[in-house]
Every structure is written in structure tokens, then in C-alpha cells.
Structure 1
Amino acid sequence: MQVTEKLTKALTEAKYLNADNVGRYRCIMRIFFENYEKLHYWLYQEEIYDQMKADPFFADYRLEHIH
């Protein structure tokens, strides 16, 4: 996964769905979607964290942020 500005940008069309951490949430949902396409339906918290840490955008991200 490569994090781009488009992926972290808030959606004005669905403003009511946005939260303060929209960039993080959209990236996590993208990870779920990409794994779903690979028929990998169950993900552990550590797997999501590892995939996020693989991108430089989340270099300072910690496992505690997922909670």
C-alpha cells in the first residue's frame, strides 16, 4: 500500500462520515479492502499495524494508536 494525499484527504461528499482521524481510518479500511480482494477475510491488529508501518507516512505510528 502506498499512502497518497488522495487516500488521506477528507471526503466532502460524506462529511458526516468523517472524523478527526479520517486519514488513519481510511488507510485502515483500505488495508481491509485490499486483503478482502485477496480472500484474506480475517486480520489481526498486528497485521494492520505492520502494513501501516511499511509506508513512510506512518513512520511515527505506534500500536497504541489503533485502540
Structure 2
Amino acid sequence: MQRLYKAAEAAEYLGVGARWLADKAAAGAIPATYVGRYLRFSARQIAEIQQAGEVRPVSERPRRR
């Protein structure tokens, strides 16, 4: 069985507020697990949230001369 992290633990790792994380999970915007009424996150779900926020660099355009 894999470890499940509390919202506060996941939020600290991700660098966001626990309330923001809970609101997004309740809205279905990010992956989460409910154990009864308690919100939890697996390591895989935390990684998915982190990857979803990743911004890829835009390739540089040639400069005009």
C-alpha cells in the first residue's frame, strides 16, 4: 500500500497553500483521493499536479537585423 499525504504535506511540497489545493481537488481540477471525508494525495498524484503546472520554454525566434 502506498503512502498518502495530507493536503498540508502535499501543499508544502508543491509550494502552494493547503486551502488552494483542497479547493482545486474539490472542484475536480487536480487528481486527489478521498479516504472517507479526508483529502489525501499519493506521490503519483503530487507528481501529476507538478507536471501539469510545468511551463515549457518557447523556442527563440531569429532576431531581425
- If you compute each CA radius of gyration, which structure gives the higher value, 1 or 2? 2
TM-score, normalized by length of structure 2? Answer: 0.32
Structure having the higher strand fraction is 2
